[in-house]
Amino acid sequence: MESKKNDILQAAIRLFSRKGYYSTSVEEIAKESGMAKASFYKYFQRKEELPLEMCIILEKNIEQDIRALYSKPDLTTHDKLHDFIVLYLRNLVKNKVYLMMDLPEPSMLIFQNEQLNAAFEQHEYKLYQWVYDCLIDVFGTEIEDSAWDITFVLKSIVLEYIRFFADRMNDETIEHLTQFIIFLSNSLVASLKSTDSVYHLWGSPGWLPESTISNPFDQGRQINVLLHSLEDSILLSSWSLEDKQEYQQISTLLKEEALKASPQKGLLKALFSYLEQRKELQKVCHLLKNLLDLAPESE
Read off the pLDDT of residues 99-149 as tens digits, 9 standing for 90 and up. 554 444 444 455 456 766 676 777 778 888 888 899 999 999 888 888 888
Give domain 2-40's CATH superfamily: Homeodomain-like (1.10.10.60)
Asked whether the beta carbons of 258 and 288 are under 8 A apart, the reply is yes
**Percent with pLDDT over 90 in the chain:** 30
Give how far Cα 288 sits from Cα of 75, 198, 220, 235, 281, Å.
20, 43, 10, 18, 11
pLDDT score, position 33: 93
Q: Does the domain formed by 49-212 have CATH 3.40.50?
A: no
Asked whether the beta carbons of 39 and 30 are under 8 A apart, the reply is yes
> In this structure, what is the dihedral angle of CA atoms 272, 277, 278, 283, given to the nearest 10 degrees?
50
CB proximity list for 77: less than 8 A, separation 6 or greater: 137, 138, 139
| 282/275 Cα distance (integer angstroms) | 8
- Of residues 168 and 206, the one with the higher pLDDT is 168
pLDDT score, position 100: 52
Model pTM score:
0.69
